Structure 1
Amino acid sequence: MILRNATGGVIFAAYRKLFHCNDALEAELHAILEGIKLTIEHSNPIIMVQSDCAVALKAISDDSLDRSAYGHMIQEIKFLLTDRVFVPVKVSRDQNRVADCLANFGWCEDSTTCCLGQPPPCASDLAVEDCNSVILE
Structure 2
Amino acid sequence: MAAWGIWERRNRVREGQKTWGPEMVMHRASKLLQEYRDVQSMNPRMAVRSMDLRWKPPDSGVYKVNFDGALFLEQRCASLGVVVRDSVGLVMAALSQRVRHPGSADVAEALAARRAICFAQELNLHNVVIEGDSLKIIQAITDTRLVQTLYGHVIDEIRLISSSFICNFLHVNQKSNKLAHALARRAILSADTDVWIEELPRDLEDVV
- The question of a shared fold, defined as TM-score above 0.5 by the shorter chain, is answered with yes
CA contact (8 A) 1:5 1:11 kept: yes
Asked whether the 8 Å contact 1:4–1:12 carries over to 2, the reply is: yes
Unpaired segments ≥5 residues, structure 2: 1-81
Aligned: 1:40 with 2:142: no
Query: Residue 113 of structure 1 corresponds to which residue in structure 2?
Result: 194
Classify the secondary structure of the residue corresponding to 1:115. Answer: strand
SS at match of 1:125: coil
**Counterpart Cα distance in 2 of 1:67 and 1:97:** 29
* Displacement after TM superposition at 1:9 (Å): 1.8
The two structures have a TM-score, normalised by structure 1, of 0.81
Determine helix, strand or coil for the equivalent of 2:99. Answer: coil
Match of 1:66 among 147, 150, 155: 147
Kindly indicate whether the alpha-carbon contact (under 8 Å) linking 1:51 and 1:89 is maintained by their aligned counterparts in 2: yes
Higher RCO (CA < 8 A, seq sep 6+): 1
| Residue of structure 1 equivalent to 2:137 | 56
One-letter amino acid of the structure 2 residue matched with residue 43 of structure 1: N
RMSD: 1.7
C-alpha distance in structure 2 between counterparts of 1:120 and 1:33, whole Å: 23
Displacement of 1:96 after TM fit? 1.1
Code of the residue aligned with 1:42 in structure 2: it is L
Cα offset, 1:18, TM superposition: 1.7
Amino acid in structure 1 at the alignment position of 2:189: E
Paired with 2:130 and 2:104, the residues of 1 have a C-alpha distance of 20
* 2:159 paired with 1:82: no
Does structure 2 conserve the Cα–Cα contact (< 8 Å) formed by 1:54 and 1:90?
yes
Distance 1:53 1:15 in 2: 18
Letter in 2 for 1:120: P
User: What aligned pairs does 1:10-25 form with structure 2 within 5 A after superposition?
Assistant: 10-25=91-106
Give the aligned partner of residue 92 of structure 1: 173
Tell me, in whole angstroms, the C-alpha distance in 2 between the residues paired with 1:11 and 1:76: 24
Structure 1 unaligned spans of 5+: 128-137
Equivalent pair of 1:11/1:116 in contact (CA under 8 Å): yes
Letter in 2 for 1:109: L
Question: Quick check: which has more Rg, 1 or 2?
Answer: 2
